[in-house]
Amino acid sequence: MRLAVTGATGFVGGAVCRAAAAAGWQVTAFGRRAAADAGRLGGAAYRSWDIGAAKLADPPGVDAVVHCAASATDTGVAPEVWRTNLLGTHHVLASFPDCRIVHVSSASVYDPFRPTVRAREHEAPVDRYLNAYAAAKAAAEQLVLAVARDAVVLRPHAVYGAGDTTLLPRLLENVRGNRLLVPGNGKVLVSMTNVDTLARACLLAATAETAWPSVFNIADSAPVPIDWALRGLLASAGARVRPAYVPARVLTPFARVFPRGRLNRYVISQFAVERSLDITAAIDRLGYEPSPTVFPVP
């Protein structure tokens, strides 16, 4: 199997490269950086490519592309987010028009204005989002499904694991003393996604025989209470921190005053209400085998 992976120097992209290399696949890794650590890529050949700038002039011959590259920020400058997440996706599709495209999207495409309760794939995209990241991810999904001849979209939520560069660092940024200020009450359920399980799902999507195009939620086997998840994440980092919960109605006015801060309406929407996914379709049609949410011990 010949595979190309975009965003290979990132958290998810690196995991996909390592999983594919371990399976004996021939992998070409693409990233924005000039060079990459071969160990993090499982020994894959690496090429520098800014997907937001242009399509590849000389793309390698591959059977499938796992498109992980994205601007994964909820506070980023909107033009850059759209450049990477939508224009970049266009350049990926233009560079690899004749092979299977596995597009790693996000559960952020579900409705941010109401709880996501065992959400099924047909419930997104929606008309309104709280930030450029979610809107651009939804638009990129629609582009992939409209243009690619052979496409699958994966929607993970709250990806965690060894080497996490997004979720856990954001939590640690907001620690003050020994407390993490969290909107809500900590009792709502959240679907988490282990990065290694997500990588395996990407390989399944690259090879599975199913009806295309397709969209699949990808998450651990069952949602968990958000307080349990936060305590596990913080403990995995060796942080002696406890979550401190504040009603969302108290924090929301501050989000309006400081929309670009770490406390914003998007963050509140992710913590204060349930965000769980139905993964039945991935299990039944991809052969996806989820595992329970477990955090590494430091």
pLDDT in tens, 122-131: 999 999 998 9
Q: Are 213 and 247 in contact (CB under 8 A)?
A: no
For 2-160+193-220+276-286, which CATH class? Answer: alpha beta
| Residues near 191 by beta carbon (within 8 Å), at least 6 away in sequence | 107, 157, 158, 217, 219, 220, 223, 275, 276, 277, 279
pLDDT in tens, 116-161: 999 999 999 999 998 999 999 999 999 999 999 899 999 999 999 9
Burial of 90 per CB tally in 10 Å (0-12, 13-18, 19+): middle
Confidence of residue 253 (pLDDT cuts 50, 70, 90): low
pLDDT in tens, 23-43: 999 999 999 999 998 889 999
Distances, alpha carbon 241 to alpha carbons 143, 174, 259, in Å = 42, 11, 26
| Residues near 101 by beta carbon (within 8 Å), at least 6 away in sequence | 64, 65, 67, 92, 93, 144, 148, 150, 151, 152
**CA–CA gap between residue 172 and residue 269 (Å, rounded):** 19
At which residue do the structure tokens 């996914």 appear? 277
**CA–CA gap between residue 144 and residue 103 (Å, rounded):** 7
Query: pTM for this one?
Result: 0.94
